[in-house]
């Protein structure tokens, strides 16, 4: 349980609540025109860090576009694109250290790749071959969760275990705005706050839970305001501003690592494309609404800012584009190759010690496959 001595007494309530409440407007350090916006609380990351993150941003956009093409070509079953949300994806991946853990959702493929996971292994899930194709322990990236908010509880469990073991580990738990209406979201935040575990809940508010707009989900002033109800600080950030995301998330991660406990960060962004290839977004939102977010694109504003700093020129941009094309080519080669299917995998990974029923079924299948065609 939480140490009662850490709870603010009545005289300290106003100070504690003021600290936990998010800023009135989402934190922004680089505006849509690529100009620096001063903020007393959050420093601007240095230029080299921004350039490194910008590289991942460009690669992430290329990954999204290539994955969508592969879906249309029938090489993948489904792809929930994060087109327009790449700044959130990159910031979540690079704000943590190697020993930390990332718990992504089905839309967070770009974040998973930014942590170093092989693209083909990551996309195996969305191809429909396996429930995740990578080893979570290799890069400390949990499998991409399809059920809403379930991964938040797993993230809290890992953070709690790390605390009990005395490890210097921080967990970033990702979810969308739709997940904040799930019971698992509330249970995860409450447990994290009561047990004071090192986890940062990162909500990408892209305005829609499939076809349900945010105002039909909640009447809270913001999703970040929900944090104070559990006794943790909340913060709002421009989800298309890579610099602001790195600063806000970085501060939350540093606070958690220093024993400050959990925090909730809400990124205000927009899902530029349909929920998935199985969705038609034109049935529930207008084109002019989408167009309003085009000018807020995270890549264009960071490109302008870095160019003005003389950190980005045609040669550097060309090198970044070539890296993105290399990743896209690897995706095409890997996903255009036919999968090698072993029917006995149906039984191989169900139990460590197979039941008699499974052994019998496997033997029957083996016998069927060994017979000559009629």
DSSP letter assigned to residue 223: S
Pairing, β 208-209 against β 263-268: unpaired
Catalytic residue among 196, 271, 301, 303: 271
Beta bridge partners of 204: 176, 267
Q: How far apart are CA 219 and CA 323, in angstroms?
A: 43
With beta carbons less than 8 A apart as the criterion, state whether 183 and 196 touch: no
Phi, psi for residue 30 in degrees, rounded to 5: -135, 120
Active site residue 332: no
Residues 6+ apart with CB under 8 A from 2: 193, 194, 195, 196, 231
Catalytic residue among 19, 131, 284, 348: 284
Is residue 101 helix, strand or coil?
Answer: strand
Q: Give the CA angle between residues 354, 357, 359 to the nearest 5°.
A: 55
Residues 6+ apart with CB under 8 A from 177: 203, 204, 205, 206, 207, 208, 209, 214, 217, 223
- The alpha-carbon radius of gyration of the chain (Å, integer) is 22
Q: How far apart are CA 180 and CA 203, in angstroms?
A: 8
Active site residue 42: no
Helix (H) or strand (E) holding 365: helix 356-370
Single out the residue of 195, 133, 124, 120 nearest to residue 159, CA to CA: 195
Phi, psi for residue 292 in degrees, rounded to 5: -60, -25
Catalytic residue among 61, 268, 275, 303: 275
Q: How far apart are CA 273 and CA 142, in angstroms?
A: 25
Active site residue 275: yes
Which positions are annotated as active-site residues? 271, 275, 284
């Amino acid at each position: 349980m939480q140490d009662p001595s850490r709870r603010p007494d009545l005289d300290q309530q106003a100070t504690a609540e003021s600290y936990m409440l998010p800023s009135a407007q989402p934190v922004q350090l680089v505006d849509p025109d690529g100009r620096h916006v001063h903020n007393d609380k959050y420093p601007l990351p240095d230029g080299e860090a921004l350039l490194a993150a910008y590289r991942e941003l460009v690669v992430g956009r290329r990954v999204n576009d290539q994955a969508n093409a592969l879906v249309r070509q029938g090489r993948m079953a489904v792809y929930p694109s994060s087109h327009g949300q790449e700044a959130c994806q990159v910031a979540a991946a690079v704000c943590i250290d190697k020993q930390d853990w990332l718990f992504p959702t089905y839309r967070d493929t770009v974040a998973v790749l930014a942590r170093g996971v092989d693209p083909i292994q990551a996309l195996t899930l969305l191809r429909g071959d396996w429930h995740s194709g990578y080893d979570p322990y290799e890069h400390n990236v949990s499998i991409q969760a399809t059920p809403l908010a379930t991964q938040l509880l797993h993230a809290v469990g890992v953070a709690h275990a790390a605390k009990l073991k005395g490890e210097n580990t921080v967990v970033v738990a990702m979810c969308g705005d739709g997940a904040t209406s799930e019971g698992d979201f509330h249970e995860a935040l409450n447990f994290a706050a009561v047990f004071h575990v090192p986890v940062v809940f990162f909500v990408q508010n892209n305005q829609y839970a499939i076809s349900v707009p945010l105002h039909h989900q909640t009447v809270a002033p913001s999703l970040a305001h929900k944090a104070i109800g559990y006794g943790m600080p909340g913060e709002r950030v421009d989800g298309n501003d890579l610099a602001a995301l790195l600063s806000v998330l970085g501060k939350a991660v540093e606070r958690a690592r220093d024993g400050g406990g959990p925090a909730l960060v809400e990124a205000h962004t927009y899902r530029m494309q349909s929920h998935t290839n199985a969705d038609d977004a034109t049935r529930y939102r207008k084109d002019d609404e989408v167009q309003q977010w085009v000018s807020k694109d995270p890549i264009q504003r960071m490109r302008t800012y870095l160019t003005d700093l003389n950190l980005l020129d045609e040669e550097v941009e060309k090198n970044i584009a070539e890296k993105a094309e290399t990743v896209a080519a690897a995706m095409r080669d890997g996903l255009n190759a036919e999968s090698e299917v072993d029917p006995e995998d149906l039984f191989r990974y169900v139990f460590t010690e197979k039941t008699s029923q499974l052994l019998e079924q496997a033997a029957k299948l083996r016998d069927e496959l060994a017979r000559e065609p009629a």
